[in-house]
Structure 1
């Protein structure tokens, strides 16, 4: 008798779970955690793309973006790792910070607790300066730092983020010591650049769409840290052209807690892919279109595994810096 009750209870439990999973995403809103302040590249990308993912999923799908800035994205990543595995709490993952941070210190999450769903963009770093500032090109910045170490302030969005790593890589290549300033998001960097309180902002291509095509206004891009020039900024040289072989990008995509069922992950992955192909999204997102680089979650995970090996020397240096 007990065995029958157990069998019936187990079957009921599986049926209930299956019913809940089948209802996704129609029965309640899906919280999307962004690890940076409103107005930055990650936040803007998510808010522009998600309405088109809703359409692709159909039914009553509804995403609600929640900003949890701080610790270079760690707070948001930890929130995803601790969420229930039902895909009603997902997150935007920022690479390399996501896989670099646990290599530099004990974090509130591990990458083993999170499952990647899809990469959306691969966004090269760019160096932005005030148009009326003292620098007009990358060699000028390097010359100033060689003359007086620490005399040039470089902004980034937190320890372990792509901007922070880009500054470290450039410093190593040029053999200079910049003055690193940590911000909670790109919007704050922009404010200090415009106010003359920051010399160089290390942001990404998609975060300065107002400069695409013209590179004119109160801000100016002086170098792009990619292998080749981008059509969006054809007059801007690469760092390598300026004499410094440094290539860094920010990758952004979506992730869920590890235990989310395969069927839901595949459904979300397909919805993201469809959203990215929507002509209306492409036409309305000039900042993102040049850097769209979709990858399914499994392929993205393999790419990150290979990347982590290359990041290890920088992670060791960051750990050494923390001990000083």
Structure 2
């Protein structure tokens, strides 16, 4: 090659480098969506918004995260959106167990559990049954007795069919051989006004949701927690086990991404979540949820889903 051609090629290479667009490495070059499958104001939404500034800091660089609510179908809409997103680290979201596992078990869902990659669990939050202070029935025995006398006479608000609250109702119905009326909403934030206004008799939420949304309200009373023992955050509330009903229902919330999310991004996000959960400043920020924070690595939590699936099998027939 002649010297003139060498110089011309060198100039072309330099020009192409100078003119090429500059692409920053993840997560600096665009905003990350943190998808929530329930309406604003519920436990998952509040946790997501509390996490954002800390995750941005732990990820470092120019990381920016925005919460995107896609409520409906008990989380199926948001999980499907998450599963179909590009696996580039710019779309992650919350999955809510047991609903995440249960929905594909009882119907032809638009996602499969292995369509997403779980990054890390954040919360393990038992369900609690709530009633207004002027409600006629304020204990588990009185509720059961009323439903035996008049099936479906009492209504129970939940965050949607297949969610932890709905499963709590199904388990009570099966254990006590009664039938209530399920009233599904798009999240705990949405059914708050229905409970306060007397449009439903009861509502199922998580302990964290109760503390954040109702804890300071004298007209809302927690009836019982769906847990083998009392919960330290609400020590005066009895466990359903105390009445002879061995019902455990908890909402485990984890952050996940599309199935093909690269290892380096998943691992970096997992470390940011772990560091956030351990940060005293974050714990102080989510004081209502502090008692139910429960970090678990994605791989370990993924393995636990099989045990949850076995526990849910008896409920499939009830849903169908």
Q: Which TM-score applies when normalising by structure 2? A: 0.90
Match for residue 288 of structure 1?
Answer: 289
Dislocated runs of 4+, deviation >2 Å: none
Instruction: Please give the alpha-carbon distance, in whole angstroms, between the structure 2 residues aligned to 1:215 and 1:63.
Output: 30
Instruction: Please give the alpha-carbon distance, in whole angstroms, between the structure 1 residues aligned to 2:65 and 2:217.
Output: 35
Structure 1 unaligned blocks of 5 or more: 1-18, 320-324
SS in 2 for 1:241: helix
Pairwise CA distance, 1:317: 2.8
The correspondence for 1:145, drawn from 129, 136, 147, is: 147
Question: Would you say the 8 A contact 1:215–1:233 is kept in 2?
Answer: no
Pairing 1:135–2:141 present = no
Match for residue 243 of structure 2?
Answer: 242
Instruction: Please give the alpha-carbon distance, in whole angstroms, between the structure 2 residues aligned to 1:78 and 1:286.
Output: 31
Match for residue 217 of structure 1?
Answer: 218
SS in 2 for 1:208: helix
- After TM superposition, list the pairs within 5 Å mapping 1:46-85 onto structure 2: 46-85=48-87
Pairwise CA distance, 1:54: 1.1
Match for residue 162 of structure 1?
Answer: 164
The correspondence for 1:199, drawn from 192, 198, 201, is: 201
SS in 1 for 2:102: helix
Pairwise CA distance, 1:215: 7.3
Instruction: Please give the alpha-carbon distance, in whole angstroms, between the structure 2 residues aligned to 1:189 and 1:210.
Output: 14
Larger Rg: 2
Instruction: Please give the alpha-carbon distance, in whole angstroms, between the structure 2 residues aligned to 1:216 and 1:159.
Output: 27
Instruction: Please give the alpha-carbon distance, in whole angstroms, between the structure 1 residues aligned to 2:82 and 2:216.
Output: 37
- Larger deviation: 126-135 or 264-273? 126-135
Instruction: Please give the alpha-carbon distance, in whole angstroms, between the structure 1 residues aligned to 2:104 and 2:217.
Output: 39
Instruction: Please give the alpha-carbon distance, in whole angstroms, between the structure 1 residues aligned to 2:213 and 2:99.
Output: 26
Alignment RMSD (CA, Å): 1.6
How many pairs does the alignment contain?
299
- CA offsets per residue over residues 192-218 of structure 1, 9 Å max, x none? 111011111011000021589x77612
Instruction: Please give the alpha-carbon distance, in whole angstroms, between the structure 1 residues aligned to 2:47 and 2:316.
Output: 27
